[in-house]
Chain A
Amino acid sequence: MIGKYGIEIYNNKIHYEFEVKRNITIIQGDSATGKTTLIGLVADYGRLGAGSGITLKCDKECLVLPAVRWKEFIRDSHECIIFVEENLPFIKSKEFAESVNYSDNYFVIVYRDSLPALAYSIEEIYGIREDRDSQKYVNAKRVYNSFYNIYNLDNE
C-alpha cells in the first residue's frame, strides 16, 4: 500500500481530520487530547457502521487492532489503516514489529515510548490539538481536532 490517505471521522461532539502518508504514523502528545477517543470512534464505527452515529470518510477501511489474535488480524487484513492503542502489551515486541513490517496495511499507533524495531519517520510523529483558532469553527458546537507534527523540522 502506498500513497496518502485522508481520514475524516466525527460524531455530533467531536471531529478529527488528518492524513496518513506512510505505513506507520505515531500519535503522542499530552494527556487528554483525544487519542483514545479517536480510537474509540474508529472502533465504534467498525462495529456499528453509520448506526453508531459516527461518520467516517476514508478511501481505505479503518480498523482497530484487537488485543487477542492480533497476528491473525494483521495477516488477514489487506490495504487497511489499522489503529493501535497504547495499552496493548505486545507493541514493543519483535513479533509485532515483524507483523507490521511485512504487512501491506498502514498503521496508526498511539504510543509515547520509542519503538526501535519499527521503521517510522520522525515526520510522521503527531500530536492532537483542538483547532481553536480556525475561523471555520468559531461558533461550532462540535470540537474540531487537528494533527500537528511533534517534531517540526521546518523550523530547524
Chain B
Amino acid sequence: MIRDVDKSEVIGPHLIESPVLGPISQRELSGGVKTLILINNDIEHIFNGSACGDNCAKWLIEIGKQKDVTVRLGYFMSFGDESFEAKVVNTNKIVHSGAELDREIIDNDLL
C-alpha cells in the first residue's frame, strides 16, 4: 500500500524512503495510507475513509475481501469498475459497485 499510494519504499520499521521528501518516518506518510493501515489492523475502531483519496479505493476493496471492516465515508469515492460487496449501514442496503453505492447515497440523501 505504501509503495502504491505514496510511491515510497519501506526501509525498516521506522524508516521509509520517499521520492519527494527523502527519508521519512511513518508519521510523514500520507493520511490516506495511514488510514488504510489502521483500517487493516484495527478492527475495533471505525476510521474516517474521507482521509483516503480515490487512489486508496482499490486497497479498501482489497482489505474488505480479507475481513469485514466498517468505514465512515463522507464523499463520493471513485471505485472505478471494480466489483465489491459492501453494506451501507445507514440503509442496510448491500451494494456491489461504486455506481450502486453512489445511487444509494443520492437516493437516500446520505451526503
Q: Which residues of A contact B (CB under 8 A)?
A: 13-14, 28-34, 36-37, 86-87, 112-114, 143
Contact between chains at B55 and A112 (CB < 8 Å): no
Point out the residues of chain A lying under 8 angstroms from B50, CB to CB. 86, 112-113
Point out the residues of chain A lying under 8 angstroms from B5, CB to CB. 31-32
Q: Which of B19, B30, B75 contacts A36 (CB 8 A)?
A: B30
Contact between chains at A114 and B55 (CB < 8 Å): no
Point out the residues of chain B lying under 8 angstroms from A30, CB to CB. 32, 53-55
Point out the residues of chain B lying under 8 angstroms from A32, CB to CB. 5-7, 29-30, 32-33, 53, 55
State the majority secondary structure of interface residues on B. loop
Contact with A along B60-89 (1 / 0, CB 8 A): 000000000000001100000000000000
B34 nearest CB across to chain A (Å): 9
Contact between chains at B75 and A37 (CB < 8 Å): no
Q: Which residues of B contact A (CB under 8 A)?
A: 5-7, 19-22, 29-33, 50-56, 74-75, 111
B69 nearest CB across to chain A (Å): 18
B74 nearest CB across to chain A (Å): 4
The 6 tightest CB contacts between A and B, nearest first, are A31-B32, A113-B74, A32-B30, A30-B53, A31-B53, A30-B55
Q: Which of A14, A33, A143 contacts B53 (CB 8 A)?
A: A33
Question: What residue in chain B is nearest A36 (Cβ atoms)?
Answer: B31
24 contacts between A and B (CB under 8 A): A13-B20, A13-B21, A14-B20, A14-B21, A28-B53, A29-B54, A30-B32, A30-B53, A30-B55, A31-B5, A31-B31, A31-B32, A31-B53, A32-B6, A32-B32, A37-B20, A86-B31, A86-B51, A87-B51, A112-B50, A112-B51, A113-B74, A114-B74, A114-B111
| Assembled-state Cα–Cα distance A87/B51 (Å) | 8
